[in-house]
Amino acid sequence: GFIYESGDSAVEFTIQSISKPLTYALALDQIGAEAVDAMIGVGPSGEAFNEISVDRATKIPKNPMINAGAIAAVSLIPADTPDER
Protein backbone atom coordinates (compact mmCIF):
# COMPACT_ATOMS: atom_id res chain seq x y z
CA GLY A 1 0.00 0.00 0.00
CA PHE A 2 0.82 3.66 -0.01
CA ILE A 3 1.31 6.07 2.85
CA TYR A 4 -0.10 9.55 2.45
CA GLU A 5 0.85 12.25 4.93
CA SER A 6 -0.02 15.88 5.46
CA GLY A 7 0.93 18.44 8.07
CA ASP A 8 2.71 17.38 11.26
CA SER A 9 2.34 13.66 10.62
CA ALA A 10 5.59 12.79 12.40
CA VAL A 11 4.53 14.43 15.66
CA GLU A 12 3.42 11.91 18.29
CA PHE A 13 0.14 12.49 20.11
CA THR A 14 -1.99 10.76 22.72
CA ILE A 15 -5.02 8.80 21.62
CA GLN A 16 -7.19 10.03 24.53
CA SER A 17 -10.91 9.41 23.97
CA ILE A 18 -10.40 7.50 20.72
CA SER A 19 -9.46 4.60 23.01
CA LYS A 20 -13.08 4.38 24.25
CA PRO A 21 -14.60 2.53 21.26
CA LEU A 22 -11.53 0.28 21.06
CA THR A 23 -11.80 -0.65 24.73
CA TYR A 24 -15.55 -1.23 24.40
CA ALA A 25 -14.99 -3.46 21.36
CA LEU A 26 -12.34 -5.46 23.23
CA ALA A 27 -14.69 -5.98 26.18
CA LEU A 28 -17.45 -7.12 23.80
CA ASP A 29 -15.05 -9.54 22.13
CA GLN A 30 -13.62 -10.91 25.37
CA ILE A 31 -16.74 -11.42 27.51
CA GLY A 32 -19.66 -11.03 25.10
CA ALA A 33 -22.42 -8.50 24.51
CA GLU A 34 -24.76 -9.83 27.21
CA ALA A 35 -22.17 -9.42 29.98
CA VAL A 36 -21.10 -5.98 28.74
CA ASP A 37 -24.69 -4.78 28.33
CA ALA A 38 -25.38 -5.76 31.94
CA MET A 39 -22.67 -3.31 33.07
CA ILE A 40 -22.74 -0.49 30.47
CA GLY A 41 -25.73 1.09 28.77
CA VAL A 42 -25.86 2.10 25.12
CA GLY A 43 -28.20 5.09 25.24
CA PRO A 44 -27.41 8.79 24.99
CA SER A 45 -26.34 10.49 28.20
CA GLY A 46 -27.12 14.08 27.26
CA GLU A 47 -24.08 15.10 29.27
CA ALA A 48 -20.46 15.97 28.56
CA PHE A 49 -18.11 13.04 27.91
CA ASN A 50 -16.18 13.82 31.10
CA GLU A 51 -19.19 13.67 33.43
CA ILE A 52 -19.10 10.84 35.93
CA SER A 53 -22.71 9.88 35.35
CA VAL A 54 -24.75 6.74 35.69
CA ASP A 55 -28.34 5.92 34.84
CA ARG A 56 -30.49 6.70 37.88
CA ALA A 57 -32.60 3.56 37.52
CA THR A 58 -29.92 0.97 36.68
CA LYS A 59 -26.91 2.58 38.40
CA ILE A 60 -24.71 1.75 35.39
CA PRO A 61 -22.91 4.15 33.02
CA LYS A 62 -25.22 5.36 30.27
CA ASN A 63 -22.84 4.47 27.44
CA PRO A 64 -19.20 3.50 26.77
CA MET A 65 -18.27 6.88 25.28
CA ILE A 66 -18.52 8.79 28.55
CA ASN A 67 -15.67 8.43 31.02
CA ALA A 68 -17.67 6.35 33.50
CA GLY A 69 -18.56 3.91 30.72
CA ALA A 70 -14.99 3.74 29.46
CA ILE A 71 -13.71 3.00 32.97
CA ALA A 72 -16.35 0.30 33.34
CA ALA A 73 -15.34 -1.21 29.97
CA VAL A 74 -11.69 -1.44 31.01
CA SER A 75 -12.71 -3.15 34.25
CA LEU A 76 -14.50 -5.86 32.26
CA ILE A 77 -11.48 -6.90 30.18
CA PRO A 78 -10.12 -10.16 31.61
CA ALA A 79 -6.55 -9.89 32.90
CA ASP A 80 -4.43 -11.40 35.66
CA THR A 81 -2.93 -8.06 36.73
CA PRO A 82 -3.80 -4.37 36.34
CA ASP A 83 -0.69 -3.88 34.18
CA GLU A 84 -1.82 -6.65 31.85
CA ARG A 85 -5.23 -5.02 31.52
Angle between helices 67-76 and 19-31 (to 10 degrees): 40
**Would you state the pLDDT for residue 75?**
95
pLDDT for position 82: 80
pTM: 0.81
38-85 pLDDT, tens digit per residue, is 999 999 988 887 877 898 899 999 999 999 999 999 999 999 988 887
Residue 17 predicted with pLDDT over 90:
yes
Q: Where are the alpha helices (DSSP H) in the chain?
A: 19-31, 33-37, 67-76
